[in-house]
Amino acid sequence: MESDTTVRRLKPYGTRSFATPDDDDSSRHRCGDNGYSGDPKRKPEVSLYLLREGVATSLVCVFVFALWGLVHLSLRQLVIGKPSGDFNAVRARVHLEQITSVGPRPVGSHENEVLTVGYLLEQIEKIRVETAAGPNQLTTDVQRPTGTFSIDFLGGFTSFYDRVTNIAVRLEPKGGAKHLMLANCHFDTVANSPGASDDAVSCAVMLEVLHSLANQSTPIHHGVVFLFNGAEENILQASHGFITQHPWAKQVRAFINLEAAGVGGKEVVFQTGPENPWLVEAYVQAAKHPFASVVGQEVFQSGIIPSDTDFRIYRDFGNIPGIDLAFIENGFIYHTKYDTADRILTDSIQRAVSDGSALC
Q: Hey, where are the domains in the chain?
A: 84-359
- Residues 321, 120, 189: CA angle, nearest 5 degrees: 70
Confidence band for 350, pLDDT divided at 50, 70 and 90: confident
Q: How far apart are CA 87 and CA 70, in angstroms?
A: 20
What's the pLDDT at 261? 77
Q: Which strand ranges, in their side-by-side order, compose the sheet holding 252-260?
A: 136-143, 166-173, 223-229, 180-186, 252-260, 322-327, 267-273
Average pLDDT, the chain: 80
Check residue 272 and give left, alpha or beta (phi > 0: left; psi -120 to 50: alpha): beta
Whether the Cβ atoms of residue 271 and residue 197 lie closer than 8 Å to each other: no
Lowest mean pLDDT among 142-151, 252-261, 294-303: 294-303
End-to-end CA distance of the chain: 104
DSSP 8-state assignment for residue 10 = P
Query: Averaged over 132-142, what is the pLDDT?
Result: 97
- Which contiguous run of DSSP H or E holds residue 347? helix 346-355
| pTM of the shown model | 0.72
* Tens digits of residue pLDDT in 257-272: 999 877 777 777 888 8
What's the pLDDT at 7? 41
Does position 180 have pLDDT exceeding 90, yes or no?
yes
Positive or negative, the Cα torsion across 55, 56, 59, 60? Answer: negative
Quick check: helix, strand or coil at residue 342? Answer: helix
What's the pLDDT at 300? 63
Does position 39 have pLDDT exceeding 60, yes or no?
no
Does position 143 have pLDDT exceeding 50, yes or no?
yes
Query: Averaged over 163-186, what is the pLDDT?
Result: 96
Positive or negative, the Cα torsion across 241, 183, 227, 108? Answer: positive
Query: Averaged over 227-249, what is the pLDDT?
Result: 97
Does position 357 have pLDDT exceeding 50, yes or no?
no
Nearest to 273 by CA among 248, 298, 249, 290: 298
Nearest to 171 by CA among 180, 163, 162: 180
CA distances from 158 to 98, 103, 154, 162, 308 (A): 35, 29, 11, 14, 15
Does position 18 have pLDDT exceeding 70, yes or no?
no
What's the pLDDT at 283? 81
What's the pLDDT at 304? 60
From the candidates 113, 232, 259, 267, which is the catalytic residue? 232
Whether the Cβ atoms of residue 135 and residue 153 lie closer than 8 Å to each other: no
Does 232 participate in catalysis according to the annotation? yes
What's the pLDDT at 267? 76
What's the pLDDT at 13? 42
What's the pLDDT at 15? 44
How many helices (H) and strands (E) are present in the chain, helices listed first?
A: 11, 9
Confidence band for 337, pLDDT divided at 50, 70 and 90: very high
What's the pLDDT at 302? 64
Does position 12 have pLDDT exceeding 60, yes or no?
no
| Cβ neighbours of residue 62 closer than 8 Å, sequence gap 6 or more | none
Provide the Cα torsion 18, 24, 30, 33; round to 10°: 30
Per the CATH hierarchy, to which homologous superfamily does domain 84-359 belong?
A: Zn peptidases (3.40.630.10)
Q: How far apart are CA 323 and CA 283, in angstroms?
A: 9
Please tell me the chain's helix, strand, coil percentages from 3-state DSSP, rounded to the nearest 5: 45, 20, 40
Q: How far apart are CA 145 and CA 167, in angstroms?
A: 11
What's the pLDDT at 62? 59
Query: Averaged over 196-208, what is the pLDDT?
Result: 94
What's the pLDDT at 130? 95
Whether the Cβ atoms of residue 359 and residue 256 lie closer than 8 Å to each other: yes
Q: How far apart are CA 128 and CA 138, in angstroms?
A: 6
Query: Letter for the amino acid at 301?
Result: Q
Beta bridge partners of 268: 326
What's the pLDDT at 66? 52
Whether the Cβ atoms of residue 193 and residue 154 lie closer than 8 Å to each other: no
Query: Letter for the amino acid at 180?
Result: L
Confidence band for 127, pLDDT divided at 50, 70 and 90: very high
